[in-house]
Each structure stands twice: as C-alpha cells, then as structure tokens.
A and B are shown apart, each in its own frame.
Chain A
C-alpha cells in the first residue's frame, strides 16, 4: 500500500532543510532535514523529548528556528518560506493548520462557533472587513451561509452533528480531539499538522480517528503531518515515517522500513540490537511501543 502511494505522488509539499532550534544551552533540534509528500500521511515519531513538538512549533511559526529553511509548496505552485512568516500568516497565507498536544478549543463557544471562527479570514473578506457586513451590503450573507454549510460538513465527518450547539468545553475528550481536527480543516489547509491526535483515546475512538484522517487525505487531498505515540495508528495510516531522537533524524522511510530499522529499535528500547527483534515484534502486536 505504501509503496504504491509513493510512486503515485512524488510531489513534495513541505521541505525542512538543516533545521536547528536552540533553547539556551539546549539543542532541541539539530540539523534536521525532512520532506512531506503531497497527499500523504507522514508520521513524526520518537521517544519523549526527541523534539517532535518543537519541529511542529517551528513549522507553524510559534517558534523562530535558530537556523534552517522550511519551504512549503502549494498545489498551485506558490512557495512560502515558513521561517520568515509569523504564526497566523502561516495559516492564513501558506495554508498550514495545526492542532495542539493539550487540546486548545474555545471552550465557552459552541462547537459550531468553533468551526466558524476557523473561517475567520474568508468571512472577514466577505463582510468587507466588517463595515459592509454591518450595514448589510456585499456578499456577507451568502458567505455566512456557506460557512455554516462547511461547518456542517466537517461536523458530519467528525461525527459531532448532534453536539453542534453545545459548548465545546462540554464535549468528552475524544470528541474534543475530533473537533480540533475539524476546526483545523475549516481553515482550508493544504498541510494539516496534528500533535498527538490519538493521545488519550480509547480503541474505538482511535479507530474512528483513523477513518477520519484517511478520509481527509483521500477526499480533500490534504497532506497530513502527525506526531504520534500510538504505534497502531502510526503503522496503520501513515505512508511515511520519520523518527527523531535527541533532535536528530535517525530513520526515515515507509512504516515497514522504520519498524525494522535497528537504530529505531535501539532508540526506543535502549538495548543491544540482536536482543531486540523479538521484543519489538511482541510490542507491536500489543499495539503500543
């Protein structure tokens, strides 16, 4: 399955070159280069403290990298140097959306409102930057209806239609995770960055997440970059896996390749390579690593 995808889409959407990020004396990321292919699900894995979230924060502009270049190439061919843009511009112009490890919803707004806020820039334009909308001119009314339709679409995909008018803070944990993804999708991204989307989900919710993500990739063509600890999710849905340890890339390839890479096994288990094979096989069957 994975090899087929690789030949199908060879186009690269995101290219990270020689990225380094230093916090005081700590080198959180050290000369990291990686690529995300268009229309694929790429997983970024690694032990705790490997610098995965830092990579995300650099890509989405919440941190300014110490060194390196991050290039995003849109479908239409337009290129953006993400390290030169601030956080909101990356979402607004470069079309990169993200979610957070510890969910960040607008808990006092309803589920629907959360999805409408995500369509802010489009709606601002349609409302003539508020002025026209306030006096009832222009295309605001039409756009507002369209935005509710889009929200309805993503509510259905995330299985949240029944809870649309409830406060986001009132949803159970798994639903909040799905809502955050739906909200990110409402910004119309070309690249979706998910920070541990399966964390804290039960097996059934985890399965629903897989379906949602596969659906996003297959139907919208949105490329996905995700950080994940849950190996069942990683192995099942990703087309490509990048492994980090101590801020450096130690392995890169399709899930099967990475799964059998001795460096990865050593990084995760910290034992001699020859002892590892059987242990890893057991762990994988159990679903987690």
Chain B
C-alpha cells in the first residue's frame, strides 16, 4: 500500500509537468487547429534557459537562496521561451494560416528539428548535469516525499489556477475563446485575432518553460533531445484528455504520469511508454474525442 502511494505521488509529479506542457498543445490546437510539433522543443528550450541561468547565478552569487534562484530561473526561462514561441509563430506559422492544412504541420515539424539541432550545435550534444537544487526529503511513515515534488505540485496548481482565471474571467480569455469558436466572427466583432493568437503562443511557451524548469529540477539533467519524448507524451496527454479542453489537458497529463509510474512500478520500466501509447490508442478507439472532449457532430 505504501509502495502504491509512493508511486502515485511520483506519477502525480510527473503528470503535473506533462499537464503544463499539454496545455500549450491544447490551446494552440483549440485556437488555430494545428498540432504545434515544436512545442516539446520549446519545453526543452525552457529547461536549458533555466540551466544556464542557474549556472550564471551560482557562479556570481554563491550563497543565493534556493527560492530566489528558482524564481529567477523561472522568470527568465518564461521570458526567453515566450520570445522564441512568439517569433516562431510570426515567422513560420502565421504566413501559412488559412492555407493548406498540412503546411503548418510540416513547418512545425521543421521547427522542432531546427530547435533541437540548434541547441545541439550551440550547447553540445552531451547531457548537461546540474547539482541538485532542492534536497530536502520528508518521511511520512515509510512514504518519502521530496520537497521537489511538493514544489512541482504547488507551482503547477498555482499556475493552473491563474491560468483558469485568465481564460475564464478576463477580456483576454474571452477574446481567446471567441477566436477559438469562430475566428472570422471574432475579428468582425473587434477582437484582434492576430494578437490573441500570438498571446496564446506566448502563454503556452511560458507554461512550457515552467514545466522545463521543473523537469530540470526533478531529473537534474538537460539534453538537446529532451523535447521529443516528453513532447509526444504531453501531446498524447492533450489528446487523451480531449484536445481543445484545458481541464482535459491537465487530466490527461496526470493520467499519463500515473500510467507511466505505476506501470514502471508493477510491470516493467522497459514497456512504460508502450503502455502509455497503447492506452492512448485504446481510449481513442472507444472514445474518439478523448475523455473530456466535446463530441464531434458529423455535419451532413
């Protein structure tokens, strides 16, 4: 039982990270109907930004408090990845909006290749280890909870709450939802559609940067090809939860995290990703729009 709870906690932590990345996928898909394949690499860029900031900080201010260091890492990573995603949207996706549907998908895959190889070229192909930032561990009976895990879950929850507020309660969120429903009509009613889409990309990138920082903190290592597998899993999470649905993305992320950690614990680590993908396939075959997705009505 303790073992189970322990694995549940691990799964929840991992799931929070996937959920944060999944939101970026789901928002972009919701608003312009495009699979942003480069989003996983934006997540990777976020992790690298945090890593570099961490190195700079610790070399200048050796005794900097961990909380402050983390905060600076988060903020800088969010800013830098936002810049990247904003630029990528302007350069590679916006010109193709409303054109052939596969064209933006291909530029997104191209962008993904560019980003991971850009980091490989500029930062080197080897894994980058960082010393553990947060070491504290708490024991509850035989269950171990690390401060890292608590931090990850708290940061995720706070961000999700803030995010929920923005999407549901602010004019910006209203513009986003309107654009999602009907881009032309939204434009006619005075919504600046281009700006709204840009902001969506920026928001997605900021969340991905947080996830990237958390990932770095959790695993203590960054690599140029860290974007792909977590990216695919986060996208899987978005689809599993019902693409276009924000709560669905978070739910999907948590589910994927749980499946992964429980499968590794009880069956085999080697096949954990197989389990994830197989469950995705099963869910979609029986509920093709995902768990919380709106059913797609076939218009005849």
Contacts and interface: CB of A to CB of B under 8 A. Distances in A.
Chains A and B directly touch (beta carbon < 8 Å): yes
A106 interface: no
Interface of A is mostly: loop
B121 interface: no
B300 interface: yes
Interface of B: 298, 300
A80 interface: no
A53 B298 CA distance: 14
A62 interface: yes
Interface string A50-70: 000100010000110000000
Contacts of A100: 300
Contacts of A63: 300
Contacts of A53: 300
B290 to A, nearest CB: 20
A260 B300 CA distance: 33
Contacts of B298: 62
A63 B298 CA distance: 10
A100 B299 CA distance: 11
Contacts of A62: 298, 300
Nearest to A87: B300
A166 B276 CA distance: 48
Contacts of A57: 300
Nearest to B297: A23
6 contacts: A53-B300, A57-B300, A62-B298, A62-B300, A63-B300, A100-B300
B295 to A, nearest CB: 11
A53 B300 CA distance: 9
A133 to B, nearest CB: 30
A143 B300 CA distance: 32
Contacts of B300: 53, 57, 62-63, 100
Q: What 4 pairs between A and B have smallest CB-CB spacing?
A: A62-B300, A57-B300, A100-B300, A62-B298
A63 B300 CA distance: 9
A262 B282 CA distance: 56
A58 to B, nearest CB: 11
A3 B298 CA distance: 40
Nearest to A104: B300
Nearest to A102: B299
Nearest to B299: A102
Nearest to B300: A62
Nearest to A98: B300
Nearest to B298: A62
A23 to B, nearest CB: 9
A95 to B, nearest CB: 20
B25 to A, nearest CB: 30
A65 to B, nearest CB: 14
Nearest to A53: B300
A57 B297 CA distance: 14
A57 B298 CA distance: 11
A262 B298 CA distance: 37
Nearest to A63: B300
B29 to A, nearest CB: 25
B72 to A, nearest CB: 52
Nearest to A23: B297
A268 B86 CA distance: 54
Interface in A19-72: 53, 57, 62-63
B19 to A, nearest CB: 31
Nearest to A195: B300
Nearest to A54: B300
A33 to B, nearest CB: 23
A219 B91 CA distance: 60
A104 to B, nearest CB: 9
B18 to A, nearest CB: 34
A61 B143 CA distance: 57
Nearest to A60: B300
A230 B298 CA distance: 27
A175 B298 CA distance: 26
A62 B299 CA distance: 10
A8 to B, nearest CB: 34
Nearest to A100: B300
B38 to A, nearest CB: 29
B300 to A, nearest CB: 5
